[in-house]
Each structure stands twice: as C-alpha cells, then as structure tokens.
Amino acid sequence: MRVFIDADSCPVRVREIVCKAAKRRNFLAIFAANRPIPLPRNRNVRFIHVGEGEGRADAFIKEQVGSGDLVITRDIPLAAELVELGPVVINDRGDLYTRENVRERLSIRNFMKELRDAGLYENPTGMFGRKEVKAFAATFDRILTQLEKQSRKGGSP
C-alpha cells in the first residue's frame, strides 16, 4: 500500500498527519508537487518534484497509482479520473470520492466555475481549521485500516 499526495495545495496539518502515520504504520507516502514542499526526514516519506507546469503532479500520480493505493487530492477532475483506476481517493477534508459521488461533485464544481467566470459568484475563502483536520484524520485512519486489512488478505479495495 502506498499513499500518494497531490501536494501542491495540501495543507501543512494534513502533510504532518500523513508523515506521522507513514512512520508509525510503515507505508510509503509519496508527495508529488511542482515546487519544493517541506517534509520531515523519514524513510517512509518521498518527495517527487515533477517540474513546472500545470497538471504535472496529476500526471505523475495517474501514471504511478494502482489498486490498493490511497490518493489525497482536492482536485476534483483528478479524483474523477482516479476513481476509475482503482485507488481509494479522499480529499484533505476527509471526503471520500466514489464512482457514484464524484460525477456530481465534478458537475457542481464546473457549474460554480461558470458562475465565477461570469462574475455571478465570488468564491468564499474556505476555512481549514480543527474541524476539517479532525474529519481528515478520522477518514484517513479508517481508510488506512481497511487497506491494510485488504493487503493482508491479498485482495484489492
């Protein structure tokens, strides 16, 4: 089991939780970003600098990820592509993306983008506080436990 993190916009607290869990639970956490990301020294944590350019981290994750892996991203279009490839996909607020819900989320995202582009909606700054960190940590722990059990059984999610 590996955990891939779309790290360009990943909050610091989420990175900390993932790094601590990688050390404690002995899995590989792979942070992909187009800029340097501060990470602790840990044999279970890797940083992949994908180079400059839009979508480079997304492309790296799509090329590398497999069934039985976990991906953390807030990029809904990326999540929509990934759920078809087999990994478990969550965002940094602990929301699980599934084949059933990701299409709806993508549709809402696209509609809101159209409203913003037309000047009809201003995106409020999203708070990322204790509540969001707690929700992420709970989902992350639950998914890790499920993936570890499946890995021991030799199955895929």
Which tens digits make up the pLDDT trace of 15-25? 999 999 999 99
* pLDDT on residue 122: 75
Q: Label residue 65 exposed, middle or buried (CB < 10 Å: 0-12, 13-18, 19+).
A: buried
Q: CA 133, CA 56: separation in Å to the nearest integer? A: 26
What CATH number is given for 2-151 in this structure? 3.40.50
Q: Which residue is associated with the tokens 């009809």?
A: 120
Count CB neighbours of 45 within 10 A. Answer: 20
DSSP class of residue 86 equals S
Which tens digits make up the pLDDT trace of 52-68? 888 899 999 999 999 99
> 54 to each of 34, 60, 73, 75, 106, how far by Cα in Å?
8, 12, 15, 12, 19
Rounded to the nearest angstrom, the gap between the alpha carbon of residue 73 and the centroid of all alpha carbons in its chain is: 3
Which tens digits make up the pLDDT trace of 127-157? 889 999 999 999 999 999 999 999 888 755 5
* pLDDT on residue 30: 99
Average pLDDT over every residue of 83-89:
94
Q: CA 19, CA 67: separation in Å to the nearest integer? A: 21
> 72 to each of 31, 58, 68, 121, 153, how far by Cα in Å?
10, 11, 14, 27, 24
Contact 76, 102 (CB under 8 A): yes
Count CB neighbours of 83 within 10 A. Answer: 20
